Amino acid sequence: MRLRKKTRERLFIASFLAGPLAVYLVFVIWPYIETFGYSLTEWSGVAPPSRVVGLKNYADLFHDSIFLKALGHNMIILIVFPTVTIVLAMFFAFMLNVGGRRGGLGGVKGIRGSAFFRIVFFFPQVLSVAIIVILFQAAYESNSVGLFNAVVIKLGLTDANHPWEFLNSPTFVLWCIMFILIWQWVGFYLVLFSAAMQQIPRDYYEAALLDGAGRTQTYFKVTMPLLWDSVQTAWVYLAVAAMDAFALVATLTPGSSFGGGPDEHGEVLATYLMRNFQVLGKAGYACAMGVVIFFITLILSLVVMRATRRERLEY
């Protein structure tokens, strides 16, 4: 029997979409939806949810001092980490693409060794977070065996008998985590900004050059404004990463299950969520936390998109 052309096409579409959609709905979409549902129940995480408690979990969150502390830490990460990462990545991208001495197309080119720097800076991106964790675990070691202490002792900032505590220090633990985040992500955004910079027509630089603009001026008056779109995208993605930081905090900071120490000074939302779910038996509460994190991320992204909206320029 010959099917009609249209019917055959429909069958083809359906057969190609069925598999991918099924897997995606079962393992991604449904769990996300369930998070919202479970957040309204009192649920230990073992038996099916026993009782619907409405918004009680959410109300409890705002009286939970550890949650608020973790939220505060995430806010610090949210401000410091994207800002430093973007500034560094922009600077490096500028140096790599137009920071070199005159010559090249339109009088601009990258500094010497650009290709090498690009490969090296991007490298942390291809490392597993597990490798990064173990790497920094060893490097942050609070005695002269650790790489960073060896460096500060060599520089004469302290002596071998008084090594820096790094991850065990209530003051520095969060900054140590943020350093790793920045270390990990600068290369990625360097490549992203580089791609955007290469889209900028060389004539613009040449025009600025002919007008007598110096390099600093070219950077702030030509490059930066034209990269605005990419910066906006970068900020949104960095904000998502800042709300996460789970693997780093859970494995690097002191604390019995999922880290967070010393004394909650390193606690972030993601680790507190996992502890509630897997250790404290408060899965419903953990889901409520997940929903709150979701909305914070969403609102932040929308705010950034709105606040930084500008006219888009077509080259």
Partner 1 sequence: MAADMTQTPPSTPGTGPGAQRPEAGGKPGGGGRTPGERSRRFGESGATLNVFGTGFMAVWAIMVLGPVLWVVLGAFKNTSELNGSAWSWPHHFGFDAFSRAWHTGISTYLKDTVIVLVFSVTLTMLFGAMAAYVLARFEFRGNRFIYYLFVSGVMLPVYLALVPLFFQVSKLHMLNTYQGLILVYVAFSMPFTVFFLHSFFRTLPSAVYEAALIDGASHTRAFFQVMLPMAKPGLISVGIFNILGQWNQYLLPVVLMQSQHGEAPHYMLSQGLVSLMVAQGYSGDFPALFAGMTIAMLPVMAVYLSFQRQVQAGLTAGTLK
Restricting to residues 69-98, name those near partner 1 by CB under 8 A. 88, 91-92, 95
Select the span of 51-59, 77-85, 146-154, 259-267 touching partner 1 (CB under 8 A).
Answer: 146-154
Select the span of 55-63, 70-78, 164-172, 290-298 touching partner 1 (CB under 8 A).
Answer: 290-298
Between 118 and 265, whose beta carbon lies closer to partner 1?
A: 118
Interaction between residue 270 and partner 1 (CB under 8 A): yes
Distance of CA 9 to the CA centre of its chain: 42
Out of 178, 200, 287, 304, the residue judged to bind partner 1 by CB under 8 A:
287
Between 174 and 245, whose beta carbon lies closer to partner 1?
A: 245
Q: Among residue numbers 34 through 63, which ones bind partner 1 (CB under 8 A)?
A: 34-35, 38, 45
Select the span of 53-61, 74-82, 167-175, 239-247 touching partner 1 (CB under 8 A).
Answer: 239-247
Interaction between residue 211 and partner 1 (CB under 8 A): yes
Interaction between residue 161 and partner 1 (CB under 8 A): no
Interaction between residue 261 and partner 1 (CB under 8 A): no
184-209 burial string, b = 16+ CB within 10 Å, else e? bbbbbbbbbbbebbeebeeebbeebb
Out of 41, 74, 97, 149, the residue judged to bind partner 1 by CB under 8 A:
149
Distance of CA 288 to the CA centre of its chain: 22
CA dist., res. 120 & res. 102, Å (int): 25
CB 63 to partner 1: min, Å: 22
CB 155 to partner 1: min, Å: 13
Overall residue count recorded for the chain in this entry: 315
Out of 134, 224, 279, 305, the residue judged to bind partner 1 by CB under 8 A:
134
Please classify residue 46 by burial: count the beta carbons closer than 10 Å to its beta carbon, then call 0-12 exposed, 13-18 middle and 19+ buried.
Answer: exposed
CB 264 to partner 1: min, Å: 19
Out of 52, 55, 68, 130, the residue judged to bind partner 1 by CB under 8 A:
130
User: What tokens were used for 41?
Assistant: 């129940």
Distance of CA 214 to the CA centre of its chain: 34
User: What tokens were used for 76?
Assistant: 């610090």
The footprint of partner 1 on this chain (CB under 8 A) covers a number of residues equal to 113
Out of 249, 273, 275, 304, the residue judged to bind partner 1 by CB under 8 A:
273
Partners of 52 in beta bridges: 41
Out of 78, 177, 231, 234, the residue judged to bind partner 1 by CB under 8 A:
234
Interaction between residue 163 and partner 1 (CB under 8 A): no
Partners of 42 in beta bridges: 51
CB 143 to partner 1: min, Å: 9
Q: Please, where are the H alpha helices in the chain?
A: 5-24, 30-38, 56-61, 65-98, 114-122, 129-139, 147-154, 173-199, 202-210, 215-218, 224-226, 228-244, 246-252, 269-278, 283-307
**What backbone phi and psi angles, to 5 degrees, belong to 52?**
-85, 125
